[in-house]
Amino acid sequence: MSGTFKAWWATDVDGKANVALTDVADADLPANEVTVGVKYSTINYKDGLAVQGNKSKIMRSLPMAPGIDYAGVVEASDSADYAVGDEVVLTGWGVGEAVSGGLSQRARAKADWLVKKPAGLSLQQTMAIGTAGFTAMMSVLALEDAGVKPGNGDVIVTGAAGGVGSVAVAVLAKLGYSVAASTGRESEHDYLRGLGATSIVPRSELSEPGRPLGRETWAGGIDTVGSQILVNVLAATKSLGTVAVCGLAAGADLPGTVLPFILRGVRIWGIDSVYCPAERRAQAWARLATDLPLDKLDAMTNMKAMADVPAITADILKGQVRGRTVIDVNA
């Protein structure tokens, strides 16, 4: 194990974040129990914010590597739970935000943050899933726990061509749900049908202010977008339906009324995939290994090298990335 490694590394230069691919010393990593030789990372919306100038101050402490996900092999461990050679996965826990992250050839984590690679998935596939796919599975579990069943009617997924949405569509379809996929990109309609969507809802139908209560259309929903789109989904959700809320790409506001909640008993189920408890985290990964069709996962995955990170992160902030992007940190 050499004393230096390559990483996208963010430093403070005159009060601004400068993110560059450079050599980093082991001593610059946090002093946590488990050292991981990273094989793959991935690109999420948060990573776009971080790499493209630390927008919204997503990285709260510099210097550090961005990247909220990584998968790799344990190189050193002071934890009884992990041994050298174990294949491990990390999503969440403030990595890439509060502590150095996965767009790096080496990382250090607290043992509690890691999970062992699920059987049936390769390290590359775990990063094709990443935080986005994990969040999607958490959302599906929420709908199941709320009693939303395949026979209850259509389930809508907003931002369906993105990372969370793509995995949500594929998993719901595999489980027998009738999935309405909402997207603003007509070019993605065939892609979404290929993942299992039974109908397409143009984003324009949900993006403008509508009636406080619309026609009861959705048995449930997974919303990755927020703001007016979420309000319109709630207004069209059936009595006692549930919408899992996991994103805010369109905004953090909720410009609607309480009418869906007090007249139809509609519920919002918030999804926190960052600090998800260990038991629920293990449940979600186990379900991903069995309920996410791997051929669909492979179809939505794009492999890229470290040098591609600036272009991909710029595109994801523009809403121009389809599915999931995996970064081979050693390429």
Q: Are 145 and 284 in contact (CB under 8 A)?
A: no
List, in sequence order, every residue forming a beta bridge with 73; answer none if it has no partner: 37, 87
What percent of the chain is predicted at pLDDT more than 70?
Answer: 99
| Structure-model confidence comparison of residues 228 and 56, the more confident one | 228
> Does CATH place domain 4-117+300-328 in 3.90.180.10?
yes
CA dihedral 13, 15, 18, 23 (to 10 degrees): 50
The pLDDT value given to residue 278: 85
pLDDT of 319 above 90: no
Query: The domain 131-270 is classified under which CATH number: 3.30.420.40, 3.40.50.2300, 3.40.50.1980, 3.40.50.720?
Result: 3.40.50.720
What's the mean per-residue pLDDT of the chain? 95
| Structure-model confidence comparison of residues 250 and 223, the more confident one | 223
How far is 111 from 302, CA to CA, in rounded Å?
Answer: 29
Instruction: Parse the chain into domains and list their residue ranges.
Output: 4-117+300-328, 131-270
pLDDT of 283 above 70: yes
pLDDT digits (tens, 9 = 90+) for 3-52: 899 999 999 998 889 999 999 999 999 999 999 999 999 999 999 999 99
Model confidence at 85, in pLDDT bands (50, 70, 90)?
very high
Model confidence at 1, in pLDDT bands (50, 70, 90)?
low
How far is 263 from 267, CA to CA, in rounded Å?
Answer: 11
Q: What is the pTM of this model?
A: 0.91
120 phi/psi in degrees, rounded to 5: 95, -10
Q: Are 44 and 162 in contact (CB under 8 A)?
A: no
pLDDT of 96 above 80: yes
Q: Are 99 and 150 in contact (CB under 8 A)?
A: no
Question: What is the average pLDDT across 89-112?
Answer: 96
List, in sequence order, every residue forming a beta bridge with 35; answer none if it has no partner: 76, 108
How far is 89 from 121, CA to CA, in rounded Å?
Answer: 11
3-state helix, strand, coil in the chain (%, to 5): 35, 30, 35
Question: What is the average pLDDT across 134-143?
Answer: 98
**Tally of CB atoms within 10 A around 49:** 20
**Tally of CB atoms within 10 A around 149:** 15
Tracing tokens 């907003």 back to the chain, one arrives at: 158
CA proximity to 326, closest of 19, 20, 47, 17 = 47
pLDDT digits (tens, 9 = 90+) for 183-229: 999 999 999 999 999 999 999 999 999 999 999 999 999 999 999 99
Q: Counting Cβ atoms within 10 Å, is residue 19 exposed (0-12), middle (13-18) or buried (19+)?
A: buried
225 phi/psi in degrees, rounded to 5: -115, -45
pLDDT of 2 above 90: no
